[in-house]
Amino acid sequence: MITPLAFAFLPPGAFMVLFVLVFILAIYAQFRVSSAYRKNAEIPSRGQITGREAAQAVMSNAGITDVEIVETEGHLTDHYDPMHKRLVLSAENYHGTSLAALGVAAHEAGHAIQHKEGYAMLNFRMLLVPATQIVSGVLPFIILASWFLVRGFTGVILDVAIICYAVLSLFQLVTLPVEFDASRRAKVQLVNLGILDRDEMPGVNETLNAAALTYVAAFVSALLNLLYLLSRRD
Ligand SMILES: [Zn+2]
């Protein structure tokens, strides 16, 4: 999630209200993810298939044989690593047979399918990763400089901050279709492959839709910071 850093400068008027609303949206999205995951991690699937087996089945069905599935530490640290062709699942989703575990595992397998198919938005997102990493590293220094050197966003500092948030906004925008598409593929495959029954899908939908909301909040937050900074330009 992108911290609304410009919030520290307490912008006046309408922006102030918008920053508060976006902040509430981000907190709400985080709360929804935690509660949806906690709830559906308690509901075992009837088929008793593990997250690892589900991810394997979804990828095999798509003809993917060169992606390794590995277990990692941490809570909700699941991701697909396109650089190393690795599907990384947290221990609870790797071994778990819950609706939440299968939803997350199938979602990550959805990214692997996107990668195999050369899904344009995933390629675009991968292209933006280096620039995003650079601006994420630069941004804290820009914020510090604006605090201690010029007491606010002006001149070159403002321009660099605008570039940073433009890159972050674009990255978060491109992330949206990538995430929505991976979840859509996951839902279809879980039913089509018989991993879950149709009446078990509401638990999966609840978990994946809550996760999607956090990406929306991250995009809105980055965009609002960008618009605020642009409004500061004379
Ligand atoms: Zn994802």
Catalytic residues: 108
- 163-216: pLDDT as tens digits: 999 999 999 999 999 999 999 999 999 999 999 999 999 999 999 999 999 999
Look at residue 155 in the predicted model and tell me its pLDDT: 82
Q: How far is the CA of 161 from the centre of ligand 1 (A)?
A: 27
Looking at residues 6-29, what average pLDDT do you find?
Answer: 81
Q: How far is the CA of 181 from the centre of ligand 1 (A)?
A: 9
Q: How far is the CA of 107 from the centre of ligand 1 (A)?
A: 6
Q: How far is the CA of 68 from the centre of ligand 1 (A)?
A: 17
Look at residue 1 in the predicted model and tell me its pLDDT: 43
- 49-96: pLDDT as tens digits: 999 999 999 999 999 999 999 999 999 999 999 999 999 999 999 999
Q: Which residue has the tokens 């991810």?
A: 55
Look up the pTM and report it: 0.90
The domain spans of the chain are 5-231
Q: How far is the CA of 93 from the centre of ligand 1 (A)?
A: 14
